[in-house]
Structure formats: C-alpha cells, structure tokens
Structure 1
Amino acid sequence: MFSNYKPTWMVDAIYKVTPEQLKKHGIKAVLTDLDNTLIAWNNPDGTEELRAWLEIMKEADIPVVVVSNNNAERVARAVEVFDLAYVARALKPLSRGINKAYRELNVDKNEVVMVGDQIMTDIRAANRAGIKSILVKPVVNTDSWKTKMNRFLEKKIMKKLLKKHPEMKWQGELQ
C-alpha cells in the first residue's frame, strides 16, 4: 500500500536537476508543484537560483509546467514573471492535472517527470498517472495551514517506505 507513495528519485532540490540528467532518463518535460517545490509558499517572487534553473531548462528545450492544487489566480500570479504554463486546481493526489499537463505538451508518459515536495499529493498523483517522480526537500521549513496535516502523515509513511526500501536516499542529483 505505501508503495503508492514511493518516488522514483529523491533529490535535495529541483535546482539540482539538470537537462543532462533528465535526457539520460529519456525525460523531455518537467511537471512541477509550485509551493515549497519551485518557490517558497510564502514568497511567490522566487529566487535567482530558480530563474537560472528555468533559463537552463529553456535553453535545453525542456518545458517546465506547474501543476498545482492552488486556484488559477494564485498560480498565475506566481508564474507570470517566469513565463511558465500551468494547470491549476490539479486535484492532486488524483492524476487529473498531471494527465492534462503532459497531454498538452504532447509527450508520452515515459518522457515526463513530476517534481514535488509532498509524497501524499505530488508523488501519489505521479504514481496514479503512471509517470516518474522526483521528491525534493521543501524550499522552506514552514508550510501553509493546509499542508501541515499532510506533513504529519507523510512522516509516518516515509518511515515505513524507508524501512521497506532502504535504497531510498536523498541525492545531490538525479542518479
């Protein structure tokens, strides 16, 4: 049961994932959660590190699409400065938003990856959609009130996952 929450990879931060690493695994597009994955949930302006990473992805012709449970107004405001496509109200852990995003990109399931900081929403949705996933550490150590309950449950699930899958380890890059 808990294997439904198992990520394909665990990388310290989305910014450490390079086009070369993605291409090595046949990945042509990145779907990403917004809050605490791409940007801090309480700082929608992003960082220079984020801007540099997005530019590297753009130069490598790897589209990045935000797949968020937030409403369209919130997501649009956060991503407009980065000129990113998005799917709002994705309904993660359901696969609806992920399916919509990769179909709009016109790529196969095996050519896309979902990056997120929560196993109960992002990783579970990726597994339901049948795509690869990357769990990243949250950008900041605080969460909105909506996420706090998930974090509590995630700790219990991660403990069981790590016991069953000792190969699950945080990496500095996509292996």
Structure 2
Amino acid sequence: MSLLRPDDLIAHVSQITPEFLAARGLRGLVLDLDNTLIPYKSYEDAAEIIAWAADLRGAGIRLYLLSNATAKRAAFWLPKLGFDGVGMAGKPNPRAFRRALEVLGLPAPQVAMVGDQLFTDVLGGNLAGMHTVLVEPLIDNALPHTRLTRRLERQVLGRYGHDWQPRHPRKGAG
C-alpha cells in the first residue's frame, strides 16, 4: 500500500512553486496532462498553466510531460506548454518514468511526479523512486471507470489518514 501513498497532496499545480520544490530538494517535475494541467478533453485556452510552466522553467526547473492521453492530444499541448514529453506513456510502467528521468537528466530523488491519479501517477512515480504529488482533479469527467477509480482512491487515502475530498468540485467535459 505504501506505493500508493503520495508524498504531498495539493489542490492545484499552481501551488507548486520554486520554493515548494526547493524545500523538498526537487529540481524537476514529470507532469500528467489530463485533469492535472488541462481539463480532460479540453482544448481551451490554458494561459495560466502555460505561464506557470514558463515561470518554473525560468527558475531553472526542468519539466517533462508523461501522459496516458493520445499521442495526438499530447502533441497538441506540448508546443503550447513549452516543454518536451510523450502521450500514450503506459503509466504506471516504471520504464516510462525512467525514460522521463533520462530526458530530464536528473536522479529520481530530485524529481516529482505530479498527477491526479493514485493508480497511474503516484504508483508509477513511487515505483521509480520519485517524490510524488497528488493533485485534485480539475474536473469530474464522470466516466464509469473513472468514478470507480476515484472511489478506490478515496479509500486508499483514508487508510493513510487523509480525508481528501475535492474542495471545489468541478463539473465538466464528458
């Protein structure tokens, strides 16, 4: 079960600042796309996230996108976000995380995996020896398998003493 335990739980990626990272000895981020950076299925303007990523890069933080979204969706967002990455990554396969670490040129303890799912992002990051940050999903996409997964995630987090419920439930894309 400890492989499903995130090191940090936060409401939104914008809470990750250079100070947040420095306090944890982190120099890089591997980031999930859907419901972490961008709402699931959205192609709408993401100026705030793009500016956030640019600010982190300007502070010397290395960024890489590791998404299970389609390669086409990742290819749409990567130039806008301003950093490298892949879609169809196959998370939680540790091989995908090791490849991200190679691209970043950083050892696992200096990199955080940031995502909205315990069973892909947190599990994969922990298997790779990375710091893990679980963020509140941007929207409730209401897919049947996602609803089940979210219920299981709450049970697992409850075992760790986290009664983590979204503070601002967001309804959105289907």
> How would you bin the TM-score normalised by the shorter chain?
0.7 to 0.9
Q: Letter of the aligned partner of 2:61 in structure 1? A: I
Distance 1:82 1:45, change over 3 A: farther
Unaligned 5+ segments in structure 2 are 166-174
Q: Which moves more between the two structures, 81-90 or 120-129?
A: 81-90
Residue 44 of structure 2 corresponds to residue 45 of structure 1:
yes
Report if the CA contact (8 A) 1:109-1:131 is conserved: yes
Q: Report the TM-score when normalising by structure 2.
A: 0.85
* Counterpart in the other structure of 1:123: 122
Q: Which of the pair has the greater relative contact order for Cα pairs under 8 Å at 6+ separation?
A: 1
Report if the CA contact (8 A) 1:88-1:97 is conserved: no
Residue 69 of structure 2 corresponds to residue 73 of structure 1:
no
Q: Which aligned runs of 4 or more in structure 1 are off by greater than 4 angstroms? A: 143-146
Q: Letter of the aligned partner of 2:13 in structure 1? A: I
SS at match of 1:39: coil
Offset of 1:12 from its aligned partner? 1.2
* Counterpart in the other structure of 1:173: none
Offset of 1:169 from its aligned partner? 7.0
Aligned equivalents of 2:74 and 2:144: distance in 1? Answer: 18
Report if the CA contact (8 A) 2:63-2:104 is conserved: no
Residue 140 of structure 2 corresponds to residue 141 of structure 1:
yes
Report if the CA contact (8 A) 2:50-2:80 is conserved: no
Report if the CA contact (8 A) 1:93-1:125 is conserved: yes
Aligned length: 165
Q: Report the TM-score when normalising by structure 1.
A: 0.85
